[in-house]
């Protein structure tokens, strides 16, 4: 049986949880619902022991599935929450925010503080009392290192007697890191009309790429413009397959991971949604590179028209936090057939050549076009040596170059992609040979 004081405490927490003005979503996922269900199960003085144990099991499971303590869960939910305050805090100075909005956040932070202080250890003890168990149920606790920015903000809150005093600091956090899905991830894809966070983006880093230094430096400079709030240009990366165009764009995510840069992948089939996507990103605190890989269009493609609007603009002002980086193997992005070329006998269109030139010059609408020429033997071997050094492959230079050239001849030709595939294969092969030799030595001994 729960004591009268504990019973009163549980009812108080329930009333608090019901009084949210802005942060209702904090308790609407699996952990929050399990927490509320547990409070409901133990709120009565004559609570059902079996029901309490089941509710506690669901609560424990939800925390374990997230690999997160209750206290860390509350902090994370605050930082990732999306509501009118988090959105407006990214767009306005704190002193310009509506007074009622600030007061509502103060109230909700005080509620969150009371929930934060209701630790899993307390809940376990209450369940032990209800279920008349000799020992309390196991308490979920994880000591793994959390994200630095979350840990820092958590430490700040723990120092406060009243979390309501943290409103201004919290607004500054949202202004720097954003809120909602954009605060949780740095890489996204547009799929089914919504943003999908990518938990494990491609780990490629700029330091692993060699060759095409001029193109790399130009792209980095343009990205710096974007991050600094200047007018960055849309970029078309054009060149032979396997030259590292896509890898270069993806490496920017890791190069500027500490500067609120996000990468949004949009498939060619979804380019028709591009104007809608751009409007979603307007006013968000992060900077976005919209990444379109292997760009090309068919005749009368709706995606062509949508991308043209974004590149050239319309009556709506272009947001300063969004830029398009696209890769292609085609110099002329719209497929052209000889039958499409206008002839003197054609009477369908008076200015047919004007239409043709508009299509062929579409790539010129990108502010920057970076060209990636096919790798010659010297460039290819330079890439191989660079990757081999990073992979700590220990064979002679002559042997490395001989095998690399043989690989290029037998596979996909000289390119950065071919070099990467060769090094990955060689490293795995040498590792297995080394392990086999070690096992043979052990057997002989």
362 and 384 share a domain? no
Residue 187 pairs with which residues in a beta bridge? 263
Q: Last residue of some domain: 177, 208, 243?
A: 177
Q: How far apart are CA 239 and CA 218, in angstroms?
A: 16
Range of the domain at 384: 377-444
pLDDT at res. 361: 54
Sequence-distant (6+) residues with CB within 8 A of 68 are 31, 76, 142
pLDDT at res. 174: 92
Q: Which has more pLDDT, 105 or 418?
A: 105
Our count of domains for the chain comes to: 3
173 and 202 share a domain? no
Query: What's the start-to-end Cα distance of the chain, in Å?
Result: 68
Judge whether residue 445 has pLDDT over 70: no
337 and 428 share a domain? no
Judge whether residue 419 has pLDDT over 60: yes
- Short-list 32, 21, 13, CA closest to 109: 21
Cα four-point dihedral sign 158, 159, 162, 164: negative
Q: For residue 399, is it within any domain?
A: yes
DSSP 13-79: HHHHHHT-SS-GGGGSSHHHHHHHHHHHHHSSTT--HHHHHHHHHHHHHHHHHHT--HHHHHHHHHH
- What proportion of the chain, given as a percentage, has pLDDT over 70? 84
What are the helix and strand counts (H, E) for the chain?
A: 18, 7
Judge whether residue 336 has pLDDT over 50: no
124 and 196 share a domain? no
Q: For residue 427, is it within any domain?
A: yes
Q: Last residue of some domain: 372, 401, 416?
A: 372
307 and 346 share a domain? yes
Given a contact cutoff of 8 angstroms between Cβ atoms, the answer to whether 180 and 77 are in contact is no
Task: Let me know the angle formed at the C-alpha of 310 by 307 and 312, rounded to the nearest 5 degrees.
Answer: 105
Given a contact cutoff of 8 angstroms between Cβ atoms, the answer to whether 70 and 34 are in contact is no
Given a contact cutoff of 8 angstroms between Cβ atoms, the answer to whether 234 and 367 are in contact is yes
264 and 329 share a domain? yes
Average pLDDT of the residues in 93-109 = 96
pLDDT at res. 416: 82
Q: How far apart are CA 47 and CA 36, in angstroms?
A: 15
68 and 158 share a domain? yes
Q: For residue 182, is it within any domain?
A: no
Q: Which residue has the tokens 């630095």?
A: 148
Q: For residue 172, is it within any domain?
A: yes
**What CATH number has the domain bearing residue 235?**
3.40.50.300
> Angle at which helices 416-444 and 397-410 pack, to 10 degrees?
120
**Region of poorest pLDDT, from 9-18, 134-143, 310-319:** 310-319
97 and 214 share a domain? no
100 and 11 share a domain? yes
Q: Which residue has the tokens 């062929």?
A: 360
Q: How far apart are CA 225 and CA 219, in angstroms?
A: 10
pLDDT at res. 263: 95
Q: For residue 67, is it within any domain?
A: yes
Q: For residue 119, is it within any domain?
A: yes
Q: How far apart are CA 400 and CA 387, in angstroms?
A: 11
Q: Last residue of some domain: 156, 177, 198?
A: 177
CA atoms within 13 A on the CB side of 286: 27
Read off the pLDDT of residues 138-176 as tens digits, 9 standing for 90 and up: 999 876 555 455 667 888 888 899 999 999 999 999 988
Q: Which residue has the tokens 């690399």?
A: 404
Q: Which has more pLDDT, 297 or 190?
A: 190
How many CB atoms are closer than 10 A to CB 100?
A: 9
401 and 257 share a domain? no
239 band by pLDDT with thresholds 50, 70 and 90: confident
pLDDT at res. 436: 78
| DSSP state letter for 156 | H
Cα four-point dihedral sign 268, 270, 273, 279: negative
pTM beyond 0.85, yes or no: no
Q: How far apart are CA 323 and CA 234, in angstroms?
A: 5
Q: For residue 23, is it within any domain?
A: yes
249 and 322 share a domain? yes
334 and 415 share a domain? no
337 band by pLDDT with thresholds 50, 70 and 90: very low
pLDDT at res. 338: 42
Q: For residue 408, is it within any domain?
A: yes
């Amino acid at each position: 049986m729960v004591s009268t004081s504990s019973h009163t405490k549980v009812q108080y927490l329930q009333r608090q949880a019901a009084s949210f003005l802005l942060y209702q979503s904090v308790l609407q996922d699996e952990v929050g619902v399990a927490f509320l269900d547990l409070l409901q199960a133990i709120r009565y003085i004559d609570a059902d022991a079996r029901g309490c144990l089941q509710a506690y099991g669901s609560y424990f499971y939800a925390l374990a599935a997230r690999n997160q303590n209750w206290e860390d869960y509350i902090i994370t939910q605050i930082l990732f929450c999306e509501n009118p305050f988090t959105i407006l805090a990214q767009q306005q100075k704190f002193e310009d925010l509506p007074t009622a909005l600030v007061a509502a956040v103060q109230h909700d932070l005080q509620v969150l503080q009371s929930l934060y202080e209701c630790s899993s250890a307390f809940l376990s003890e209450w369940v032990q009392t209800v279920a008349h168990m000799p020992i309390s149920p196991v308490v979920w606790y994880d000591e793994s290192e959390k994200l630095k920015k979350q840990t820092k903000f958590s430490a700040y809150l723990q120092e406060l007697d009243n979390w309501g005093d943290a409103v201004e600091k919290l607004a500054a956090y949202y202004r720097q890191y954003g809120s909602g899905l954009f605060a949780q991830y740095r890489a996204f894809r547009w799929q089914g009309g919504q943003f999908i966070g990518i938990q494990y983006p491609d780990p490629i880093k700029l330091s692993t790429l060699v060759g095409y230094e001029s193109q790399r430096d130009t792209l980095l400079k343009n990205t710096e413009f974007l991050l600094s709030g200047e007018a960055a240009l849309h970029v078309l990366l054009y060149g032979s397959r396997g030259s590292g165009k896509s890898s270069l764009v993806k490496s920017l995510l890791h190069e500027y991971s500490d500067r609120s840069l996000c990468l949004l992948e949009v498939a060619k089939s979804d380019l028709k949604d591009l104007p809608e996507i751009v409007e979603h990103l307007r006013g968000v605190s992060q900077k976005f590179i919209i990444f379109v890989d292997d760009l090309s269009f068919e005749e009368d493609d709706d995606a062509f028209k949508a991308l043209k609007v974004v590149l050239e603009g319309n009556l709506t002002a272009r947001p300063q936090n969004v830029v398009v980086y696209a890769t292609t193997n085609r110099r002329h992005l719209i497929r052209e057939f000889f039958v499409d070329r206008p002839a003197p006998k054609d009477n369908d269109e008076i200015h047919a050549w004007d239409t043709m030139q508009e299509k062929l010059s579409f790539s010129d609408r990108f502010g920057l076009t970076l060209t990636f020429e096919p790798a010659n033997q010297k460039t290819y071997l330079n890439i191989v040596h660079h990757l081999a050094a990073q992979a700590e492959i220990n064979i002679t230079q002559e042997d490395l170059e001989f095998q690399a050239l043989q690989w290029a001849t037998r596979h996909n030709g000289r390119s950065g992609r071919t070099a990467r595939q060769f090094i990955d294969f060689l490293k795995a092969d040498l590792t297995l040979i080394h392990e086999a030799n070690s096992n043979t030595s052990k057997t002989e001994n």
